[in-house]
Structure 1
């Protein structure tokens, strides 16, 4: 009997020491670091260390086996990956093109992902020197930060036809940037430029670093009902969501840092929190104005979800001093929305309206020392019945082309009640 118990205990001990399988490797490269993600069958005991001449990072996993070959091609940071396996141990070597600072951590299963070992290879940050003159220069462009949601390890929502939200948002962000850059006095700043993940805080920190006047986060989320469709504009709410959809979306988006692989380190003392809240309240007022302006432009030509405007506790909108909004371009879980968001004509129409709404907001609330602020101080004309563009130009001693340029008009057509900004003539 004792012998049987001993054998059973040994068998259990052997099972507890079953090797963790290294099931594959994925690599994402961004502007600040390259991330290598190793998929594991279970938790892992590992050690990471660096070697020089040539630079490389070594990862030893104990009680592990390698079930898939690891390969990498054409990466700017990792030259190649080598590996060896012996009973109870796997060694992975990342040969680097240059010395990089590694940071590693394990992630528990979340969403569609299981256990993961994440290795970030960080490049040295280049110091930025800013002068007061560069920040406060007169007649400057307003800067619109455009953030494509998700990316890299985090695909976002996945449509019925297999479309990834991260691809939709990057395309929409790039098209919106083109529209913004085409407008006088406006300049776009793309937050995520490729297929890699950026944690929520880093997104709005990049906007602040570049002195953005507005932060726009682009999404194309999913809902539990495939019937839900249409575009929406959201701003931050710290008191609860304005609808079931808003709450669902916020909870979904806020999980992205877990999926993308982020270690949460959020500590604030009481004084910092009070100052943060005061600053954020002021930004929220401007966020509401900006979002309402985009909402007004969208509803003219784009199908909206319900009223198309809401509030929810989105982490990505928590910049303390940059007005921010989140634009749900549609619901990728709805087959018709998914199809439209892949249609260049629809994306062109959608981004044109978003850009027009942003422009209108800045003319209503122009930041100091900007080209738009100078135009907003100029004369205005409210279109009356019988007015024509040529008559208005002649009456105010300017040209039709100058009026159309300042007001971003592509045609001579006018609407009664429309406000036209008139150029300041010398």
Structure 2
């Protein structure tokens, strides 16, 4: 039976009505889902605080990405941070505040009942910097979303003031107890992930950004270091944001680091070059940095410490300071070279090396004056095969493993004074293996102990020794 035109019109209208109804229903469900997600309460899972000479840092960890706003108030000085849709059940009672910048962390009345407001009371006017860190790469499965609050002192106490505080224990602007180094402190290793933020670094043929590769390897290395008692890693950046190359060594200085490792991926105009390399500061750049440091106000007096008080001639004082600093920088360059050699040995087991010996260069990131510093090129991202390798998480982990192995072996052999590793090494009893021609009195004289003490320590009934016999030297 043939349908009329009116019938077709009615059917079309019904279909349109049904389509509009379904579209509206789906849209309403979508809006409801979005509102439901946006209404989900965000929880604070951890709060951490740290303080250094010119910077106090507060890190809040969340189970979901936080939304926030902030402003500063004066008389008294404080920073107010509003966290949208964040549960305010967390408290600051367990946070140990140190240093001379932050006097109190507390809650205040939030904008709405679903929000949280944090007030940071400070002892002076500080610059404020806030940024979020998100676990974006696949190597950080357990990481939380973080809000980092940095309170920067534009006029931090000078090294002279710190030295006076240590001597007199009287400067009210310096937390002296926080300045005194522990005899069993951790070995601090600053890990610098090259580039970041608006600076992507080199870009591989397949579009891989150097900044992502360096951050991933840095985090892998930091996790291994922090898992080892006696070692502590500090990352110059934990997310995708920019830090000036000149500011990176300043972080090592601020953290009183025992080592700075800067991680990069090389590149060239052609795809053929490949392989890793390790770099340390050139002598020419070290000399120019020495001159720059000596031009800083009272730098020579700071270097000489109490000796500066008995040197009346300013030119003589500068001469001594220059000699001391020169020797210090030469020492740290030598240590950097030694560690570079160790690292090349271990990297050879993971990747081809473009340079088989440590290379020196004038690189800004390596200019921390009193910190051994190395720069590691993990490969040529401009080489298609090496770009593919660097995009492989297992290869990046192997590179991090090689760096960790070298660093651990190096510090086991030469632990810095005042660290737990140094205390453990030098508190162990000495041993001596007897060789042909040695006798007991000679060994006792060599180690500055008596023959009687040496015999008692080793339960010897006579002065006779055997070649190859191992003696324990009494303390």
Instruction: Pick the TM interval, shorter chain.
Output: 0.5 to 0.7
- Residue number among 319, 329, 337 corresponding to 2:378 in the alignment: 329
Q: How many residue pairs end up in the alignment?
A: 253
What does 1:190-205 correspond to in 2, within 5 Å?
A: 190-205=235-250
From 358, 364, 368, the equivalent of 2:417 is 368
Q: Provide the C-alpha distance between the structure 2 equivalents of 1:380 and 1:354, rounded to a whole number of angstroms.
A: 30
Task: Give the C-alpha shift of residue 276 in structure 1.
Answer: 5.5
* Other-structure match for 2:190: 145
State the Cα distance separating 1:268 from its structure 2 match.
6.8
C-alpha distance in 1, partners of 2:186/2:126? Answer: 36
Give the Cα–Cα distance (whole angstroms) in 2 for the partners of residues 359 and 324 of structure 1: 15
In structure 1, what is the equivalent of residue 354 of structure 2? 305
Change in CA separation of 1:368 and 1:342 when aligned onto 2, cut-off 3 Å = same
Partner of 1:220: 265
Q: Superposed, which structure 2 residues align to 1:16-415 within 5 Å?
A: 124-125=151-152, 131=176, 135-239=180-284, 269=295, 274=322, 277-307=326-356, 309-377=358-426, 378=428
**Bigger radius of gyration among the two:** 2
Distance in 1 between the 2:183 and 2:253 partners? 19
Query: SS of the residue aligned with 1:201?
Result: coil
What SS class does the counterpart of residue 219 from structure 1 fall into?
A: strand
Shift of 1:124: 4.5
Aligned partners of 1:326, 1:348: CA distance in 2, in Å? 18
Three-state SS of the structure 2 residue aligned to 1:322 is: coil
1:280 Cα deviation from its structure 2 partner:
2.2
- 1:395 equivalent in structure 2: none
Pairwise CA distance, 1:132: 5.7
Other-structure match for 1:36: none
Query: Which protein has the bigger strand share?
Result: 1
* C-alpha distance after superposition, 1:151-172 (max 9, x if no partner): 1111110110111111111111
Q: 1:339 to 1:213 in 2, by over 3 A?
A: same
How far 1:299 sits from its partner (Å)?
Answer: 1.8
Question: C-alpha separation between the residues in 2 aligned to 1:369 and 1:123?
Answer: 29
> Which ranges of structure 1 fall in alignment gaps of 5 or more residues?
1-30, 34-52, 56-75, 80-96, 104-121, 241-265, 383-426
Return the offset for 1:239: 4.1
Secondary structure at 1:328's aligned position in 2?
Answer: strand
Is there any run of 5+ residues in structure 2 with no aligned partner, and where? Answer: 1-54, 58-69, 73-80, 85-117, 120-124, 130-148, 158-173, 286-291, 301-320, 433-475
* Aligned mates of 1:202, 1:372 — CA distance in 2: 29
